Amino acid sequence: MQQVPFLSLITFLPLFGMIIILLLPKSNEKAIKSVSIIITGIQVVLAGMIWSMYNYSLGGINNQATYQFVEKFRWIEIATVSWLGTIKVDYFMGIDGLSAPLLFLTALISFIAAISSWKIDHSLKGYHAMYLLLVTGMVGVFVSLDLFLFYIFWELMLLPMYFLIGIWGGPRKEYAAIKFFIYTLFGSVFLLLVMIGLYLSATETLANGTKVFTFNMIALMDPQNYTQTGILSPLNPNNLRFVAYIAMFVGFAIKIPMFPFHTWLPDAHVEAPTAISVILAGVLLKMGTYGILRLNFPIFPEITQQLVWWIALFGAINIIYGALCAMAQKDFKKLIAYSSVSHMGFVMLGMASLNTAGISGAVFQMFNHGTITAMLFLIVGVIYDRAHTRGLDDFGGLAVQMPIYTGFVSFAFFAAIGLPGLSGFISEAFVFLGAFSNVQIRVITVVSTLGILLGAGYMLWTLQRVYLGKLNEKWNKLPDLDFREYAMLVPLAVIILILGVYPSFMLDLMNSSVNTMVTFMAKSQTFFSSIQF
Amino acid sequence: MNGSNLITLSLFILFAPLVGFWFTLILGKKVEKSYLIEIVISTLVLLTTIYVTFTKLFYFPDTKFVSEFTWINLGEMPLLGKVTVELGMMIDNITALMLFVVALISSLVHYYSIEYMKGDKRYNRYFAFLGIFTFSMMGIVLTHNILMMYIFWELVGLSSYLLIGFWFEKDSASDASKKAFLVNRIGDLGMFAGILLIFVNYHTFTFDKIFMAIGNGVLPFNSEFWLTIVGILLFCGAIGKSAQFPLHVWLPDAMEGPTPVSALIHAATMVAAGVYLVARIFPMMTGDALLFVAVIGALSAFIPATIALTQTDIKKVLAYSTISQLGYMIMALGVGSFAFGFFHLVTHAFFKAGLFLGAGSVIHAMHHEQDIMKMGGLRKKLPVTYYTFLIFCLAISGVPLTSGFLTKDGILAGTFAFGLLTGNSIFAITGFFVAMLTAFYMFRILILTFHGKPQDEHKYEHAHESPFLMIAPLVLLAILSIFIFYTANPFNADSGWVLSNWIKTPASVVPEHARYSFMVPEKMQEAAVKTTEHITHSEVYTEALHHAHIPAVLLSLVLAGLGILLAFAFYQWKKIDVDALTLKVKPLYTFSLNKWYFDEFYHKTFVSGLLGISNILAWFDNYVVDGIVNGAASVTRMLSRFSGVFDNYVVDGAVNLTATFSGLIGLAFRKLQTGKVQAYVVLVVFSLVLLLLFFVKI
Amino acid sequence: MTSIGLQHYLVVSSILFSLGLFGIVTRKNAVMVLMGIELILNSANINFVAFARYGNFGFDGQLIALFVVILAAAEAAVALAIVLNIYKNFSTVNVDEIDKLKE
C-alpha cells in the first residue's frame, strides 16, 4: 500500500538511538541526553505524519484489509515434526482506531518523559539506553498484530523498566522494582499459556493451500479458523476458552492495574524517578486495557458477553476503592498513583458497556488519563526536585510562592476530576453514557458515579493542603517553573484543553473502529449462540 | 428588522469574556493594567446584551432563535443508528431576560471591583476570574441542551471555587471554596444521573427534542414514575447550585470570597441558575416532581430565614436571606406559579446584588469589619449607601412600589391559589411566615448597621462614603428596584409588560393525568386556546389566582409591616429587651445561632464517615491486599528457603550419605590392607582355595 | 616296589610348591621370598614335564617348562634388582617393614 514502513520506523527508531548512545563516550552527558530527546522528538513527528495519513473511515479490528500501515512478511518458518506442522511467525504490524490513539500517546509521552529525564544525574548512558529500549517495547506492543511479536515486545519493555526503577529509583527501589517485575511476569506467564493454547487451536490457510497454526491476531478473531479439536476452539465441546479468558484477563488486569492486583503500582510509582512514573502511568497502564480490548474481547466475544457484569464490577471497585485509598494518602506520588487506579476503573467500566459510547469513552479515557496523569506526575516531580519531599502535609501556601506552577497544578487537578472543557470530562461522560445504556451494568454505573465526587474530594483537598493557605516559610525560596518544565507542561495542557473543547479530533479517529468492534461483538454473539452445545 | 444577527451577537456575548479571561490571566502581572481588558470586554458585552435582549423582547417576543452544530459524531451506532451530540444556542424570552440580568450585574460588579479590590496583590487575576465566570454563566443561559448546561454548570462551579478561594491564604477561604465545589458536585451527580437517564431514553440532549418526545408519549422506561425521577434528579443540580436544603450549607461559607463576588455569583446570578434550570425543564416536570420541588423550596425558604434572625455577620445574614429567597422562587415554580417564580429571579437579582454591594460598601468603609454588632450609626457617614440599602430592604420585604412587592406577592398569591385548588395550604403558610421573618431580619441589620449609636468609635471615625464607582452601581440597582420598570400598575404585575408579553408559562408536555390537576387545560377550552400555546393552566387556576390575589396582598402587607415594626421595636426603640427575650428562648436561639447544626451534623456523619472509610480502606490496602501480595512473596521465599534446606540436607545429604557409607565400609576393609605382601599372598591363596572348593567339585 | 608314575611327580611338585609357598609366606628376608617363588616355579615346571610325559600333549609341556626356566631367570634378575633398590631406599630387606603399599 505505501512505500515507507512507518510502523517499523517508529518502533525501531529508539533502538537505533540506543545504539548511538552506547557508542557515545560516557563523559559526553549532553550528547546522550540530546540523543534521547531528539530520537523521541522524531518519533512525535513520525506519529504526526501517521496521523495525517490515517484514513478515518477504515475500521480494522477483525478485518485485515481495513488495517492501515500494514507491514507483513514471514519472519520465522520452521518445518517440524508432522503433528505440529510448520511453525510460522509473521512479522505483522498495523494500526486501527484502537491502537492509533495509543500510538500517538506513546510517542508524545515518551518525548515528554525524555525531556523530564534531563535531571537524571548518575549513570546517564545506561539510563538513556534503557529508556530508549523501553520506548521500542511500548510502541511495539501497540502496533503488533501477531501474538508472538506482541509477546516479544510485551516482555521487551519489562526488563528496562526493572532496571530503570531498580537503579535510578528512590530509597526502596529494589523492593519496588522486584515487585513490579515479578508481578508483571506472573501475568505474562498466563498470557504466554493462552497464547500457545490459541496457537494450537487455530489455523490459517497459506497461499499454497496448506493449513498452518497461526499467531495472527486477526485470524484468531474468526471462529471459522479454529480446528475441530483445538483446546481453545469454540468448536470443541470441551474447550477451555473460559479458563483461558480468565487467565489472559488476569495477565492484562495486573498491568491495568485492577483491584486486587494493583498494589505494585503505588510502590513502583513512589520509587521510580519522575520520568519513569510518567511513562508508567502514561503508557504502561494502557497496555492492560489495550490488551483486553485487542485480544480478550474479539477473540473471546462470547465469554466477554458473559462476563461484562464482572468487568464492570471490578471497574467500579477500582473507581471507588482507588479514590477512597487516594484520599487517605500522605505521600503526593502515592495519591496520584491511587488516582490512576481510580481513573483506569473508568476505562474498564466503559469497555464493559460493549457499545459505541462506552468503548469510545474507554479508549478516549486511556488517552486522557495518559496526558493528565503524566502532567500530575510531572507536577509532583517539579516540587520534589525543589523540596526533596513529597509529604502532603510538609507544604502549604505554595500558590503564593509559585503562582504559575500552581496555575498548572490547578489545571491538571481539574482535568483529573473531570471538569468540562478539559478532556477528562468527555471521556468520563461517555463512559457513563455508554455504561448506563447497557442494562446489565446500569446499577454498577450509578454507583460508580460516586467516583466523580470522591475524585473531586481528594484532589481539592490536596490542592488545599499543598498549595493554598499560608505559605510555609521553609519554602519561601522555591523558584517558579523553568523553561524545561514549561516545555513539558505546556504541550500536555494544550492537548488536554483542545481535546476537551473539541473531542472529535480523537473520537473521529477511533469511531469507525469502535463501531466495527461493537458490531463484531454483537454479530459473534449470534454466531456463538448458534454453535452452543 | 430580523433577528438573524441575534445568534451571532450572542456568540460574542458568550466568548468575549472567555477571551478576556485568557488575556488577563496570561498578561497577569506582566502588564500592569491588564484588568482593563476585562473592563472593556464586560462593557461591550453589556451593550451587546442590551441590544440582543430588547430586540428579542420587543420585536420577537414569540420567536425562538435556535442554532446548533454537531460537536461529536458517534457515527452509525450499532442497534441505535446515527447518534450525534449537538451543541447549540437558544434564545427565548427567559434567556433574553437572564442575559440582561447577568450582563448588567456582571459589568456593575466589574466597575465596583475596580475600587473595592484596589491594592490587592492579585488584582488582575481577580478580573480574569470574573471573566471566566461571566463566560460560564452566559453559557448556562444560552444553551439549548442539557449536556451543555451541565458543562457550563460545572464551569460556574469552577469560577465560584476560584473566587471564593481568592484569598486562599486564609484557611477559612480555602475551606469554603472546597466545600462549595464539593457540595455542588453532590447536586451535580444527581443532575448527571438525570442526564444519563435522558440520553438512554431519548439519545439526545436537546431540550426541545426531549420535550417533543415526551409530548409524543415516549416516557423513560415507559413509566411516568421514571419521568418524575428524571425531573427530580435534574432538579438535584438546582439544589446544589441554588443552595437549597439540604445542600444549602456551602453558601454562607462562600461569603469568604470578596464581597462583589458574593453579589455577582452568590446572590444574583449563579445561585439563580438553579431556578433557571427548573424553569428550563419545567415542561417535563410531572406533578409529583413539582411537588418535590415545592417542598424543597419551602424548606429552603423557611430554615435559612430562621437562621438569619440571629446571625451577626452582615454577609452571612444576606447569604441566608439569599437561600430563603431562592427557596421562594423554587417553591413558586413547584406550585406551578412559573411566571412569578422567574420574575422574582429577575427582581431579586437586582435588589440582592444591591444589598451585597451595599454591604460591601459598609465593609469597605469599616475596614473589613463585618460584624453588625460593631457597627451602628453609619447613616450619617454613608448616606448614599444607607438610602439605597433602605430601598433594597423595602424591596426584599415586599413593600409596595418596589419590584419585590410585585413578584413576592405574586408568589404568595400563587401558593395561596395552590392551597385553594389542592387543599394543601402548607406552602402558603410557609410563604407568609417567611415573608414576615424576612422583613424582620432585613430591618434588623439595617437598624443595627446604620441607626443608633456607633459601637466601635474608632472605626466609625475613619468611616467614609465609598467612591463614585462603588456608589453608582448601588444607585442604578436601587432605581431598578422600583416597580415602574416592570409594570405600570404598582399593585398588580399581571398587566405589566414583563408578565403579559415576556414571561409565559411554557406548555407542559407531561401526560395529562401526571400533571397537577389545575395544569390540565379544560377540554372545552382546548380548541379556543390552541392559538396561544403557552397557556398551560386551566381556567380554574387563573380564576383561583385572581381570587387569591387580593387576600395575599393584604396579608403579606400586614405581615411585612409587622416584621418591620418588630425590628424597630427590638433594635431601634428598644421597647423589647432583646437580651431578656434571648434568654427566654435560649434553646431556640442557640439552635438558630448554630445554623441548626447542619455543618456539625454533616461533618460528624458524611465527612468523618468518608475519611474514616478511606483510612480503613487505605489500611486494608496496605496491610491486607498488599499484605497478601507480600505474604505470597514471603511464603514463596519461605518455600524456597525450605527447599534450599531440603536440597542441602536431604538431596545432597543422600549423596553424601552414600559417600560416607562407602567410606565407612572402606574403613572396615582397610584393616585387611596391611601392606604386607605376604599377608596378601596368604589371602590370595586362601581365597583361591575357597573358590576352588566352591566351584570345583572335588 | 611300584614303578614311578605320574602321581609321584605330582606329589613331589606339590611338596615343592608347598615349601615354596611356605617360604614366601614365612620368610622375612626378601631374598628368601624370591627363593620361595623359584621353588613354586619349579614345582610348576615339574608338573608341566610330568604331564607332558604321561599325557597326550606332545612336547608342549617341555616347551613351556623351558619358557618358564627362562622367565624365572629373567624374573630373578628383575626381582633382585628390585630388592637391591628396596635395600637402598629402606636400608632393609625385611618384607614386614616394607608396608608402604598400605598408604
CB pairs under 8 A between B and C: 28
Q: Find all residues with CB under 8 Å of B113, minimum gap 6, and list them.
A: B126, B127, B130, B258, B260
Residues A236-254: b if buried by 16+ CB within 10 A, e if exposed:
beebbbeebbbbbbbbbbb
Residue A1: the pLDDT is 47
DSSP 3-state of B91 = strand
Lowest mean pLDDT across A377-381, B84-88, B435-439, B548-552? B548-552
Chains in touch with B (≥3 Cβ pairs < 8 A): A, C
Query: Cell for B275?
Result: 431556578
Q: Which residues contact C52 (CB under 8 A, 6 or more apart)?
A: C58, C59, C60, C61, C62, C65
pLDDT tens digits, C74-94: 988 998 898 888 888 888 888
What does the alpha-carbon distance between residue B598 and residue B179 come to, in Å, rounded to a whole number?
Answer: 13
- Better pLDDT: A528 or B271: B271
Helix residue ranges, H only, chain C: 6-26, 30-54, 60-90
- d(CA C57, nearest CA chain B) in Å: 23
Give contacts of C31 with chain B, Cβ < 8 Å.
none
* Contacts C26 to B, Cβ<8 Å: 678
Q: Please give the pLDDT value at position B649.
A: 86
Q: What per-residue confidence (pLDDT) applies to A142? A: 92
Chain B nearest-CA distance from A89, in A, is 35
Report whether A378 contacts A272 (CB < 8 A): no
H or E element that contains B263: helix B259-263
Return the pLDDT at A531: 58
Q: pLDDT: is A343 or B64 the higher one? A: A343
Chain C residues in contact with B675 by the CB 8 A cut-off are 98-103
Residue B89: phi and psi, rounded to 5, are: -120, 155
Over residues B256-284, mean pLDDT: 88
Choose between A101 and C99: higher pLDDT: A101
A446 touches chain B (CB under 8 A): yes
Q: A328 — contact with chain B (CB < 8 Å)?
A: yes
Backbone angles phi, psi at B675, to 5 degrees: 90, -5
Residue B638, all three cell numbers: 519461605
Among the residue ranges A217-231, B88-102, B200-214, B424-438, the one predicted with the least confidence is A217-231
**Which pLDDT score, from 0 to 100, does residue B646 have?**
87
Q: Name residue, grid cell 429571579.
A: B345
Helix (H), strand (E) counts: chain B: 30, 2
Residue contact C99–B681, C-beta within 8 A: no
pLDDT at B387 over 50: yes
pLDDT tens, position by position, A299-335: 888 888 888 899 999 999 999 999 999 988 888 999 9
The residue among A406, A407, A426, A414 whose CA lies nearest residue A498 is A426
pLDDT at A135: 93
Average pLDDT over residues B305-313: 88
Chain mean position to CA C80: 14
List the one residue out of B530, B508, B515, B512 whose CA is nearest residue B211: B508
Indicate if the pLDDT at residue A2 is higher than 60.
Answer: no
Please, what is the end-to-end C-alpha distance for chain C in angstroms? 57
pLDDT in tens, B180-229: 999 999 999 999 999 989 988 888 888 888 888 888 888 888 888 889 99
CB contact under 8 A, C25 and B674: no
The pLDDT of residue B524: 45
Q: Indicate the helix (H) or strand (E) that contains B531.
A: none
- Residue A90 has φ and ψ, to the nearest 5°, of -95, 150
Backbone angles phi, psi at B64, to 5 degrees: -120, 120
- Grid cell, residue A425, equals 470530562
Element spanning A249, H or E: helix A241-255
pLDDT at site B530: 45
* Inter-chain CB proximity A328 and B154 less than 8 Å: no
Question: Which of A185, A265, A460, A486 has the highest number of chain B CBs within 10 A, making it the mutation to test binding with B?
Answer: A460
More confident residue, B602 or B525: B602
CATH of domain C7-92: 1.10.287.3510
* Residues in a beta bridge with A497: none
Q: What pLDDT, in 10s, does the model give residues A98-125?
A: 999 999 999 999 999 999 988 888 888 8
The 3-state secondary structure of B498-530 reads HHHHHCCCCCCCCCHHHCCHHHCCCHHHHHHHC
Q: Indicate whether A1 belongs to any domain.
A: no
Residues 20-59 of C with CB under 8 A from B: 21, 24-26, 33
Structure pTM? 0.85
- Residues C79, A131: Cα–Cα separation, whole Å: 81
Q: Which of B398, B413, B262 is nearest to B336 (CA)?
A: B413
Q: Report pLDDT for A279.
A: 92
User: What is the pLDDT at residue B521?
Assistant: 64
Residue A12 pLDDT greater than 80, yes or no? yes
Question: How many angstroms separate the CA of residue B28 from the nearest CA in chain A?
Answer: 10
Q: B687 in contact with C at a CB cutoff of 8 Å?
A: no
Q: Residues of B with CB below 8 A from A421's CB?
A: 151, 155
> Across the interface, which of C24, C25, C99 has its CB nearest the CB of B675?
C99
Q: Per-residue pLDDT for B377 more than 90?
A: no
Cβ atoms of B263 and B107 within 8 Å: the answer is no
The per-residue pLDDT for range A201-239, each reduced to its tens digit, is 888 777 777 777 888 888 888 888 888 777 888 777 778
Q: What pLDDT was estimated at residue B529? A: 45
Measured in whole angstroms, the distance separating CA C69 from the mean position of its chain's CA atoms is 10
Asked if residue B698 has pLDDT above 70, the reply is: no
- As a whole number of angstroms, the distance between CA B110 and CA B472 comes to 12
Q: Do residues B267 and B352 touch, judged by C-beta distance below 8 A?
A: yes
Percent of chain A at pLDDT > 70 equals 96
B673 has a chain C CB within 8 A of its CB: yes
**Residue of chain A with shortest Cα separation from B152:** A420
Q: How far apart are CA A346 and CA B697, in angstroms?
A: 97
- Distance (Å, whole) CA A349 – CA A431: 7
Residue for grid cell 433574553: B96
Please answer yes or no on whether B74 and A511 come within 8 Å at the CB atom. Answer: yes
Cα(B34)–Cα(B36) distance, rounded to whole angstroms? 5
User: C67's torsion region: left (phi>0), alpha (psi -120 to 50) or beta?
Assistant: alpha
Under the banding of pLDDT at 50, 70 and 90, the label for residue A131 is very high
Work out how many domains chain A is built from and give that number. 1
Domain assignment present for residue A111? The answer is yes
Q: pLDDT of B667-677, one tens digit each?
A: 888 777 777 77
Chain-chain contact of C99 with B676 (C-beta, under 8 angstroms) = yes
Cα separation of B242 and B319, whole Å?
Answer: 11
pLDDT at B533 over 50: no
Distance from CA of B690 to the nearest CA of C (A): 17
- Dihedral in degrees, nearest 10, Cα atoms B370, B374, B375, B377: 180
What is the distance between the alpha carbons of residues B283 and B285, in angstroms, rounded to a whole number? Answer: 6
Predicted local distance difference test score (pLDDT) of residue A431: 92
Nearest partner of B563 among B188, B309, B202, judged by Cα: B309
Query: Cα-flanking dihedrals φ and ψ of residue B455, to 5°?
Result: -90, -30
Name every chain C residue with its beta carbon within 8 A of the beta carbon of B673. 101-102
Tens digits of residue pLDDT in B144-176: 889 999 999 999 999 999 999 898 888 888 889
Range of the domain at A47: 6-528
**Sequence spans of domains, chain C:** 7-92
Q: What's the CA gap between A376 and A345, in Å, rounded? A: 18
Q: SS3 for A449?
A: coil
User: Do residues A226 and A528 touch, judged by C-beta distance below 8 A?
Assistant: no
CA distances from A383 to A392, A424, A479, B414 (A): 11, 24, 10, 59
What are B336's three cell numbers? 406551578
Whether chain C lies against chain B with 3 or more Cβ pairs closer than 8 A is yes
Question: Which of B670, B678, B684 to probe by mutation at the C interface, max C CB count within 10 Å?
Answer: B678
Residues B673 and B297: their CA atoms lie apart, in Å, by 115
Phi-psi region for residue B583, left (φ > 0), alpha (ψ -120 to 50) or beta?
alpha
Residues of chain A contacting B79 with CB distance shorter than 8 Å:
355, 522
Q: Do B189 and A452 touch (CB under 8 A)?
A: yes
Position A529 scores a pLDDT of: 65
Cβ atoms of A234 and A241 closer than 8 Å = yes
CB of B608 less than 8 A from some CB of C = no
Decide if A162 contacts A183 (C-beta within 8 A): no
Closest CA to B271 of B300, B303, B313, B242: B242
Q: What are phi and psi of B67, to 5 degrees?
A: -150, 135
According to the model, what pLDDT value does residue A286 have?
Answer: 92
Give the distance from CA B685 to its chain's centroid. Answer: 117
Question: Can you tell me the distance from the alpha carbon of A298 to that of A220, in angstroms, rounded to the nearest whole number?
Answer: 9
**pLDDT tens for each residue of A246-258:** 999 999 999 888 8
Helix (H) or strand (E) holding A77: strand A68-79
The C-alpha cell at B630 is 507480600
B42: nearest Cα among B8, B13, B22, B9: B13
Q: What is the mean predicted confidence (pLDDT) over B249-259?
A: 89
ipTM: 0.90
**What pLDDT is attached to residue B234?**
92
Q: How far apart are CA B641 and CA B559, in angstroms?
A: 87
- Model pLDDT, residue C103: 61
State whether C95 and B676 contact (CB < 8 Å): yes
For chain B, how long is the longest CA-to-CA vector? 157
B168 — contact with chain A (CB < 8 Å)?
yes
Q: Is A257 on the interface with B (CB under 8 A)?
A: no
Sign for the pseudo-dihedral over CA of B391, B392, B398, B404: positive
- The pLDDT value given to residue C102: 64
pLDDT digits (tens, 9 = 90+) for B333-372: 888 888 888 888 988 999 999 999 999 988 888 888 888 8
A 349-408 → B contacts, CB under 8 A: 355-357, 360, 397, 399-400, 407
* Cβ–Cβ gap B677/C26 under 8 Å: no
**pLDDT tens-digit map of B445-468:** 888 888 888 877 777 777 888 888
CB contact under 8 A, C100 and B677: no
Q: Which of B675, B678, B685 is opposite residue C102, by nearest beta carbon?
A: B675
Band (pLDDT 50/70/90 cuts) for residue A85 is low
Could you write out the DSSP letters of every residue in B166-222?
GGTTSHHHHHHHHHHHHHHHHHHHHHHHHHHHHHHHHS--BHHHHHHHHHTT--GGG
A132 touches A139 (CB < 8 A): no
Q: Are A210 and A195 in contact (CB under 8 A)?
A: no
Gap between the Cα atoms of B695 and B688, Å rounded: 10
Higher pLDDT, C35 or B459: C35
Query: Which amino acid is located at B25 in the chain?
Result: L
Chains that touch A (3 or more CB pairs under 8 A): B
Beta strands A211-213 and A68-79, pairing class: unpaired
Write out residues 69-108 of B within 8 Å (CB-CB) of A. Answer: 71-80, 83
SS3 A203: strand
Using CB atoms, pick whichever of B74, B152, B618 lies closest to residue A328: B618
Query: What pLDDT is attached to residue A113?
Result: 92
CA distance B396 to B586: 28
